[in-house]
Amino acid sequence: MRHKGALLRNPTGLLFSRAPAGTRRPKALTPFLAPSEVLSYVASMGYTAAMRRSIAGKLNTGATAAILLVLVAGLGVAAWHSGLLPIRLRQDGLYGGGNAPPGTASPGTLIDRPKLYLPAPKNIKPGFVRVTRVIDGDTIVVAEDMHVRLIGVDTEELGKDKIDPQSRAWQAALWVQSRLEGDAQVKLQYDAERKDKYDRTLAYVILTDGSMLNDLLLQQGWARTMKIAPNTKYASHFAELELEARDQRLGRWAE
């Protein structure tokens, strides 16, 4: 014969004191209950057992602690799914605050790399070519899929398939897109060599207002100088622009 104070192990693995003789056992948990319903059910079972022991003057402290843990866990699950926690997993798979707008990502979170296409300009000016897409801060695509690498400047590299939307590399690419999208056409000027080892066209990119995109990237601090002979026509000028941006802590030099 078992001792009157023997313990019973219920299907959840929690230990509770044996219920008084004649007490009906609760029905087995159905596998179709939601996690929050299971937690609630288990907590109610434990609470009932603990109350009975309390009334008898024999409160099981271990069981009471287990009940409190189950209740806290249940509240945590409910808060997580309802988005009440400061950080939660959204349906798009990105971690963000409970009130974060769709599509935003916390720093360091990688997302699929978007393609930065540009709208066609209304009229192409003589000597200009249409820009169709921005690859990154120092490379654009013009005309019939011609990849143009800007001479004398270098921006941080983007990932091939995934990017960090908070990175300086992506910010530089977005800046170039915003600068071109109003009138996506440019004039190309060349130096001693017109092609690099990747078969990209090397050029100084002139905008419709007469400014040079190579200059602007350095002035805004999104690029650093990259001197590669024999294309060094503006090397000294570019170095001065980089130094000014550094002094003003612009773009990539802000930190």
Query: Residue 26 has what pLDDT?
Result: 47
Query: Residue 62 has what pLDDT?
Result: 73
Q: What is the mean pLDDT of residues 175-192?
A: 97
The domain limits of the chain are 7-87, 111-253
Q: What is the mean pLDDT of the chain?
A: 77
Please write the tens of the pLDDT for every residue from 121-155: 999 999 999 999 999 999 999 998 999 999 999 99
Q: What is the mean pLDDT of residues 155-165?
A: 89
pLDDT at 84 over 60: no
Are 176 and 182 contacting, i.e. CB atoms less than 8 angstroms apart?
no
| Pairwise pLDDT comparison (45 vs 68), residue with the higher score | 68
| Pairwise pLDDT comparison (8 vs 117), residue with the higher score | 117
Top CATH class, 111-253: mainly beta
Q: Is 53 a known active-site residue?
A: no
Which residues, 6+ apart, have CB-to-CB distance to 41 below 8 Å? Answer: 29, 33
**How would DSSP label each residue in the chain?**
---TT-EEE-TTS-EEEPPPTTPPPPPPPPTTS-HHHHHHHHHHHHHHHHHHHHHTT---HHHHHHHHHHHHHHHHHHHHHHT-SSEEE-TTS-EEETTPPTT---TT--EEPPPEE-PPPSSPPTT-EEEEEEEETTEEEETTTEEEEETTEE-PPPPSSEE-TTSHHHHHHHHHHHHHTTS-EEEEE--S--B-TT-PEEEEEE-TTS-BHHHHHHHTTS-EE--BTTB-TTHHHHHHHHHHHHHHT-GGG--
Query: Residue 144 has what pLDDT?
Result: 86
Q: What is the mean pLDDT of residues 65-86?
A: 67
Q: Is 157 a known active-site residue?
A: yes
Query: Residue 46 has what pLDDT?
Result: 56
Report the range of poorest mean pLDDT among 85-89, 116-120, 213-217. Answer: 85-89
Looking at 18, 52, 179, 200, which residue is catalytic? 200
Looking at 53, 149, 168, 252, which residue is catalytic? 149
Categorize the per-residue pLDDT at 12 as very low, low, confident or very high, splitting at 50, 70 and 90. very low
Q: Is 179 a known active-site residue?
A: no
Looking at 157, 193, 240, 244, which residue is catalytic? 157
Categorize the per-residue pLDDT at 14 as very low, low, confident or very high, splitting at 50, 70 and 90. very low
pTM: 0.59
